[in-house]
Structure 1
Amino acid sequence: MPNYDKLTLKEAVLQWKAHCEAVEEATTTNAHETEKQKKERIKHLLSDYGAFVDYYFPHYTSNPQTGKQTPCAPFQIKAAKQIKADKNLKAVYKWHRGAAKSTHIDIFIPMWLKAQIYGGAELRQFWVMVLVGKSEDNAKTLLADLQAELQYNKRYINDFGQQHNNGTWEDGSFVTKDGTAFFARGRGQSPRGLRYRSHRPDYIVIDDLDDDELCQSPARVTKLTDWVKEALFGALDGGRGRFIMVGNLIAKNSVLANVCAIKSVKVSQVNILDAKGNVSWAAKWTRQEVQAIEDFTGYRSFQREYMNNPIVDGAVFRADWIRWAKRPAWRDFTEIVLYIDPSWKSSQKNDYKAAKLWGKTKKTQLWHLRAFVRQATVAEMVRWCYDLYEWAEKTGIAIKYYMEANFMQDALLDDFTTEGVLRGYQLPIVGDKRKKPDKFLRIESIAPLWERGFVFYDDSQKDDPDMLAGIDQTLAFQKGMRGHDDAPDADESAISILQKHSKITSFTPSFGKRTTAKNVTW
């Protein structure tokens, strides 16, 4: 799908014309195909959505890097079948960025449904389609790509007849030769009375209605949600017809989130990585490519754009509380602790492992010195811990190693033992036997240390990806979060040990007569 964002009208028209030429060029037909072969092929394509997309839209599915076509993802095929099966479907397709949601829901699926009447096999799937975008221009742009396919896709025209209808082929509003009408509307525009002849809309698609500016205003989100539920939904004939919304969840306060909350609405959520860390559209991206996306965008942006997990930046910790400074001399630290949080699921690459090195000075400052925060195996984390131990020995630094006692009994401790055998010594890990209270309360309780200026970060690590990943998780931390919190959890545990060891245990409080101003000396 062409990208018309930030183009002038003239530039957009030129790009659209180039796109139309590309459609024509890519959809050449087989002149030697017999009528029987043609009918058999069409019958197969109408029953197989993935094959339908591969045949009619090679200009969308071809991969310029490999020269091969990228097949549909399983979730795209499932959505097509669901939409075809239920003419009164009310659904939200909450798919990650790059999942081709607009391409499938706005173009491929409508054309697949429209073609079902070929040979009288099925009744007409829909009469009037309305495509709703952020603005009228945005909606017209989205609809123009569907219009280009109906007018210039030679394969589709060869199989299902001429679609272009002189006199009714306008920008943002057109009717095909068989009487199927298509309209574009912007958010907030009145859809009342929208119909073609006696037919009211029966296929409404709301495409990426939310944006950052809108989601910052609860009042505007509420007003637009009401417009969707009342005016737009009311354009259907008494609720009959498909009412579909597509987008990724960029904010918890959004129209998409509000529509998902409606009980009768079916919600399809697809993240770029599934719960096991596998790529949802494996035919398009490798796991390494997805990791590269996260490395570039950062944890919080990746969670929002690709994992449908919008995170409120600074809900507990604020960015201006992160203080980088020149580290004191190692001899100025009274205690240095490495807290290891290997996570329970040691076999899953998508699960974060965290090991955080913290130090305390005589002035009770807390310094974050080194970090391991990665989606890695336990073995990789173990090697890092041993490398740190050997570096500390050479540098003359004494480090205390801690790990939650429950993990000390787990099979993952075998990784430490195995690495120790290879290196000729065992890492002196102490089990943390503290009975930990609720995680959110624990981590939230140390936030004032950042706010009051007691926490510092070693500025020699300012460009270290592990340190930055840990800061991302810290700033993203909030109650009920679905993202990763391994880094701030390890921070809290290390700080708890340092703070506990800071307490003066020999002080005996005196409970006696209150001191008066008269006998106070300054």
Structure 2
Amino acid sequence: MLFSKEELDEFLISNEQKHENTPNELKGAMQRKDFLEWMDELKNELKTQFLHESHLDPTLKEERIKRASVDFDYFARTYFPHYFTIKGECGLHLHLNEVFTKIALKKESKGEKHAIAAPRAHGKSTYTSQLFPLWCLVFNYKSFIVEISDAVELMEGMLEAIKAELEDNPHLKLDFPEVVGIGKTWRVGEFVSNNGVKIKAFGSGKRLRGVRYGVKRPDLVILDDLENDTNVRSKDQRDKLEDWVDEAVLNLGSADGSLDVLYIGTILHNDSVLSRKLKLGFWNPKVFRSIEEFPQRLDLWDEYAMLYRNADFNTAHQFYLKNKVLMDKGAKVLWKEAKSLEDLMKLRAENLKAFNKEQLNNPRSENQIFSLDSINFYDVLPPISQYYMYIDPAGEKAKSDFTAITIIGKGAKGFYVAESIVKILKAQSIIKTIFNLQKIYKCRLIEIETNGGQFFLKKWLQEKSLESGVFLPLRGKNNSVSKFERIESLSLAFENEELFLHKSQTMLINQLLEFPEGKNDDAPDSLAGAFLLARTKSSIKRRKHHFNSVSRIRRF
């Protein structure tokens, strides 16, 4: 790529200042002229990194082409070595390799959607918006590729980088002479290669209706960082952009549904368009974080951060070297050769909010209460002494509301969520689900929220219990504490390591992360009810045991 989003923003700000006194009727044209000159300079700089002659063995040409046609990683590293100066394996790149191969070499005509969240500075745009289109172009896997970003200038720069490779890359010239060179259409933001593949750039939200290449419609769309830090703050803007993606972008392809869509970016807001798509299974979602597993001794890293902020980097670095074994233990980094654990923890010390957003894909709003770091997880359910169930049924008049059912168990070290069911259920389905859960878990007590006109469900459950002979230890719960306070109280339970979830409970986790600004909070509300019920009953039980033991001692 010719420039990053940050470099583009810096140029545009500088250029705006340069032309602050330019007449309005001339300003736009002059700013555009400056941008094109700047981009051309960067394109020429890129070309200086190319070798004058290819070092590839001409006698192995056919062998290379055959392998490169089915192996994206081999293709990229063989023909574009100047992009692979950093060694090491990165999970993001391995996943992208799988996705690219699936899209390019698929046998069926049905299109696919892929949504991928990637941390900053991990090569996502170089791989997705430059090298992958080149692979599709060289081997004619796609005929019309559309690339879209928040700023069209960013994609124009990406296309210029692709054109630079086609113009002067010696390895491509050796093995693909019929592809390289300037094509019949060769403009900024749009070109057609000599083997007839078209690539066109757009900015997000722009008019796309009727985009064609002769009789062909796009067969691959790449969405790369569609949102920016400003427009993502507005729910109205987020809704508009999602509508544009769903209505304009996804309908760009032909009527046979063969369009492939690859959406990659960094999550800038917990309700961003990318974040929304990552919650949909048919988008084949995948989230990557620069730190996949945090080190065990975060207390030492807190000391490191204090030294880094209050002394200097050298002092902090010496502290790290002295305690490296302990401070590295348990950590797993996405691409350690590019960003080491210390590099990342330094970013964390500089600005935790920015680090969570840009490196962990876990943005936090000012009002956010829960984060992935604050939630405790278990892998295998430990021995449980008692189970409890809490039911938060959908409102009587809200046909689309979710019913949330939580099963929580008391273990030796705390309370464990065994089940978190969040579905749109009719009354009979709710009743059936509750009885099935009770047969499995034999809950000591079941509470059902009766606020909002849900008394009928409690009555039906009691009647069904008598009919079936299955005992339901059921009681109603009329909440007087506000929903916000109930859910907020869970933060202390997580902080005290009393409450544990399983990573498979994705809807519960997502709603916790989005609280209090998310669209739904049924799952956290049900969890709060279940935790309060289990904790209260366990506490009462302990007090009763203590009282009885004292009484027996006194009798003797």
- TM-score category, normalised to shorter length: 0.5 to 0.7
CA RMSD of aligned residues (A): 3.6
Q: Is the 8 A contact 1:27 1:58 kept in 2?
A: no
Candidates 37, 41, 66, aligned match of 1:17: 41
Shift of 1:6: 2.7
Matched, 1:40 2:63: yes
Question: Which residue of structure 1 lines up, in the alignment, with residue 241 of structure 2?
Answer: 224
Q: Return the alpha-carbon distance in structure 2 between the equivalents of residues 39 and 309 of structure 1.
A: 46
Change (3 A) 1:43 1:194: same
Matched, 1:156 2:209: no
Secondary structure of 1:192's counterpart equals: coil
Q: Is the 8 A contact 2:88 2:336 kept in 1?
A: no
Change (3 A) 1:78 1:234: same
Change (3 A) 1:61 1:23: farther
Shift of 1:20: 3.4
Change (3 A) 1:83 1:278: farther
Secondary structure of 1:234's counterpart equals: coil
User: Deviations 1:272-302 (Å, cap 9, x if unpaired)?
Assistant: 122464112234232222222222232x221
What 5-or-longer segments of structure 2 have no aligned partner?
A: 16-31, 294-329, 379-411, 415-484, 494-508, 516-556
Shift of 1:438: 8.7
User: Deviations 1:418-441 (Å, cap 9, x if unpaired)?
Assistant: xxxxxxxxxxxxxxxxxxx99941
Matched, 1:199 2:216: yes
Question: Which residue of structure 1 lines up, in the alignment, with residue 196 of structure 2?
Answer: 179
Change (3 A) 1:32 1:177: closer
Matched, 1:295 2:349: yes
Secondary structure of 1:313's counterpart equals: coil
Candidates 513, 526, 551, aligned match of 1:481: 513
Question: Which residue of structure 1 lines up, in the alignment, with residue 363 of structure 2?
Answer: 310
Q: Is the 8 A contact 2:231 2:238 kept in 1?
A: yes
Q: Return the alpha-carbon distance in structure 2 between the equivalents of residues 144 and 206 of structure 1.
A: 17
Q: Return the alpha-carbon distance in structure 2 between the equivalents of residues 19 and 78 of structure 1.
A: 30
Report the TM-score, using the length of structure 2 for normalisation. Answer: 0.53
Q: Is the 8 A contact 2:144 2:199 kept in 1?
A: yes
Q: Return the alpha-carbon distance in structure 1 between the equivalents of residues 243 and 82 of structure 2.
A: 38
Please identify, of 132-141 and 22-31, the stretch whose mean Cα deviation from structure 2 is larger: 22-31
Q: Return the alpha-carbon distance in structure 2 between the equivalents of residues 224 and 406 of structure 1.
A: 46
Matches within 5 A, 1:22-421: 22-23=46-47, 25-30=49-54, 33-34=57-58, 36-63=59-86, 69=87, 73-86=93-106, 88-116=111-139, 124-161=140-177, 162-238=179-255, 239-275=257-293, 277-298=331-352, 300-315=353-368, 406=413
Shift of 1:13: 2.8
Change (3 A) 1:478 1:42: closer
Shift of 1:262: 3.7
Shift of 1:59: 2.2
Shift of 1:482: 9.6
Q: Is the 8 A contact 1:50 1:71 kept in 2?
A: no
Shift of 1:185: 1.0
Q: Is the 8 A contact 1:135 1:187 kept in 2?
A: yes
Equivalent residue letter for 1:79: V
Question: Which residue of structure 1 lines up, in the alignment, with residue 489 of structure 2?
Answer: 441
Q: Is the 8 A contact 1:204 1:243 kept in 2?
A: yes
Change (3 A) 1:241 1:344: closer
Secondary structure of 1:264's counterpart equals: helix
Question: Which residue of structure 2 lines up, in the alignment, with residue 507 of structure 1?
Answer: none
User: Deviations 1:32-81 (Å, cap 9, x if unpaired)?
Assistant: 833x3122233233333223222222222214xxxxx5566433333332
Aligned length: 331
Q: Is the 8 A contact 1:24 1:154 kept in 2?
A: no
Q: Return the alpha-carbon distance in structure 2 between the equivalents of residues 267 and 32 of structure 1.
A: 38
Change (3 A) 1:33 1:406: closer
Q: Is the 8 A contact 2:220 2:261 kept in 1?
A: yes
Q: Return the alpha-carbon distance in structure 2 between the equivalents of residues 172 and 141 of structure 1.
A: 8
Shift of 1:170: 0.4
Secondary structure of 1:246's counterpart equals: strand
Change (3 A) 1:28 1:283: farther
What 5-or-longer segments of structure 1 have no aligned partner?
A: 64-68, 117-123, 318-340, 346-404, 408-436, 446-476, 484-522
Q: Return the alpha-carbon distance in structure 2 between the equivalents of residues 443 and 32 of structure 1.
A: 59
Equivalent residue letter for 2:194: K
Change (3 A) 1:52 1:284: farther
Change (3 A) 1:171 1:70: farther
User: Deviations 1:338-375 (Å, cap 9, x if unpaired)?
Assistant: xxx9x999xxxxxxxxxxxxxxxxxxxxxxxxxxxxxx
Change (3 A) 1:203 1:478: closer
Identity of aligned residues (%): 23
Q: Return the alpha-carbon distance in structure 2 between the equivalents of residues 267 and 47 of structure 1.
A: 24
Report the TM-score, using the length of structure 1 for normalisation. Answer: 0.56
Q: Return the alpha-carbon distance in structure 2 between the equivalents of residues 46 and 316 of structure 1.
A: 49
Question: Which residue of structure 2 lines up, in the alignment, with residue 121 of structure 1?
Answer: none
Q: Is the 8 A contact 1:96 1:271 kept in 2?
A: yes
Change (3 A) 1:307 1:31: closer
Equivalent residue letter for 2:165: E
Equivalent residue letter for 2:234: S
Change (3 A) 1:166 1:126: closer
Q: Is the 8 A contact 2:172 2:180 kept in 1?
A: no
Q: Is the 8 A contact 2:270 2:514 kept in 1?
A: no
Shift of 1:165: 3.5
Shift of 1:112: 1.7
Moved over 6 A (4+): none
Q: Return the alpha-carbon distance in structure 2 between the equivalents of residues 277 and 57 of structure 1.
A: 32
Change (3 A) 1:155 1:100: same
Change (3 A) 1:296 1:56: farther
Change (3 A) 1:273 1:82: farther
Q: Return the alpha-carbon distance in structure 2 between the equivalents of residues 479 and 25 of structure 1.
A: 48
Q: Return the alpha-carbon distance in structure 2 between the equivalents of residues 442 and 235 of structure 1.
A: 45
